[in-house]
Amino acid sequence: MEHEKSIIMVTWDFTEKNVYAIEHAVQMSSMLNGEIAVVHIVKKEQEIQDAEKRMSEEVRQKFNDPTLKFSFIVRVGNIFHTIGEVAAELNALIVIMGTHGVVGMQKFLGSWALKVIASSKAPFIVVQESPKSEVMKNIILPVNYKRETKECVAWTHYFSKKFGTKFHLFRAKYADSNFRKGLDSNMFFLTKYFGSKGIRFETQTAVGENDFGKETIQYAKTVDADAILLMTTRDIGFTDYVLGAQEQSIIANMERIPVICINPRPAKIGGGFSASGG
């Protein structure tokens, strides 16, 4: 969690949404004393030199503060795998990615973003517009019955220390008793952890009349949240991309609220081996 130097990685594809991502990175780097690594993926080796030159010129033209520390990286590969590989190579603290929340395309955009996010151990922050004046002061944490929800605690502590974040624990509402049992376990764990670490928080329960993702977005809008922190689905597969994991609708939300996505650790199989073969 604590890096020797904070590298904030930003994905770049020469569109306006990437400028928003760098704006968020600049805002965060000023508080983390970090370096911003701007990464672009190409299909052919001969494209690297021109892409790197163009990327450097465009970024430095828009962000000409000499105190900002930029590095520019162009790699041959596939965005769905290579971005995660570069993030691991750089030991990036966070990856920031811009996406367009175009009406009628939320599912497609959410699926595209989610597939990129799933390739990385580093958290992703997905943004759709320029940042607010304050950095991550209020973050919504949706709490459901899934066990991996508890894996977010190290990052809640980090954000609390670095940005003074207050977390809003937004409880799902279930009729099923087994789901309620899992939810209660997660809430007990989180509130106990937050209390022990001095993390500021408050709780709110969803009405339960609509999809939990939609209610999460509406609640985030109501409290003027700076971001939603989301644990992605463990071992997400092809059917999740096609049919739509719930996090897709949150990632591409029409309120343009930034979403912090954390991938859970791979599930363990008997004998201590992970599902990913580790």
Range 125-153 average pLDDT:
92
Boundary of a domain, candidates 69, 98, 127: 98
Residues 186, 146: Cα–Cα separation, whole Å: 8
Instruction: Quick: pLDDT tens for 180-219.
Output: 999 999 999 999 999 999 999 999 999 987 789 999 999 9
Residue span of the structural domain in which 180 resides: 138-250
Q: What value, to the nearest 5°, has the Cα angle with vertex 258 and ends 106 and 187?
A: 100
Q: In terms of domains, do 94 and 146 share one?
A: no
Amino acid sitting at position 187 = M
**pLDDT range class, residue 100, cuts 50, 70, 90:** low
Q: Which residues of 73-87 are buried (b: 16+ CB within 10 A; e: fewer)?
A: bbbeeebeebbbebb
Q: Which of 123, 59, 128, 63 is nearest to 92 (CA)?
A: 123
Residues 107, 100: Cα–Cα separation, whole Å: 11
Q: Quote the pLDDT of residue 208.
A: 86
Instruction: Quick: pLDDT tens for 40-51.
Output: 999 999 999 999
Q: In terms of domains, do 146 and 238 share one?
A: yes
Q: What is the largest CA-CA distance in the chain?
A: 59
Residues 94, 244: Cα–Cα separation, whole Å: 25
Q: Quote the pLDDT of residue 273.
A: 31
Q: In terms of domains, do 142 and 241 share one?
A: yes
Q: Which residue has the tokens 């339960």?
A: 208
Is 40:28 a contact under the CB 8 Å cutoff? Answer: no
CATH classification of the domain holding 40: 3.40.50.620
In a domain, 218, yes or no: yes
Q: Which residue has the tokens 């390739």?
A: 119
Tell me phi and psi for residue 125, to 5 degrees: -115, 115
In a domain, 223, yes or no: yes
Residues 241, 215: Cα–Cα separation, whole Å: 21
Amino acid sitting at position 94 = I
Residues 269, 277: Cα–Cα separation, whole Å: 9
In a domain, 56, yes or no: yes
DSSP for 153-217, please give it. Answer: HHHHHHHHHHH-PEEEEEE---SSHHHHHHHHHHHHHHHHHHHHHT-EEEEEE---SS-HHHHHH
Q: In terms of domains, do 157 and 241 share one?
A: yes
Q: In this structure, what token pair is assigned to residue 208?
A: 């339960």
Computed over every residue of the chain, the mean pLDDT equals 84
Instruction: Quick: pLDDT tens for 223-266.
Output: 999 999 998 765 555 444 443 456 777 888 889 999 999 987 65
Torsion of CA 277, 81, 105, 174, to 10 degrees: 20
More confident residue, 193 or 34: 193
Boundary of a domain, candidates 98, 123, 149: 98
Q: In terms of domains, do 164 and 230 share one?
A: yes
Q: Quote the pLDDT of residue 241.
A: 43
Boundary of a domain, candidates 31, 66, 98: 98
More confident residue, 208 or 161: 161
Instruction: Quick: pLDDT tens for 257-278.
Output: 999 999 876 554 343 333 333 3
When divided into structural domains, the chain yields a total of 2
In a domain, 87, yes or no: yes
Q: In terms of domains, do 142 and 240 share one?
A: yes
DSSP for 8-34, please give it. Answer: EEEE--SSHHHHHHHHHHHHHHHHHT-
Q: In terms of domains, do 19 and 74 share one?
A: yes
Q: In terms of domains, do 238 and 146 share one?
A: yes
Residues 249, 233: Cα–Cα separation, whole Å: 13
The count of other CB atoms within 10 Å of the CB of residue 228 is: 27
**pLDDT range class, residue 120, cuts 50, 70, 90:** confident
Q: Which of 6, 26, 264, 2 is nearest to 158 (CA)?
A: 2
**What's the pTM value of the predicted model, to 2 decimals?**
0.87
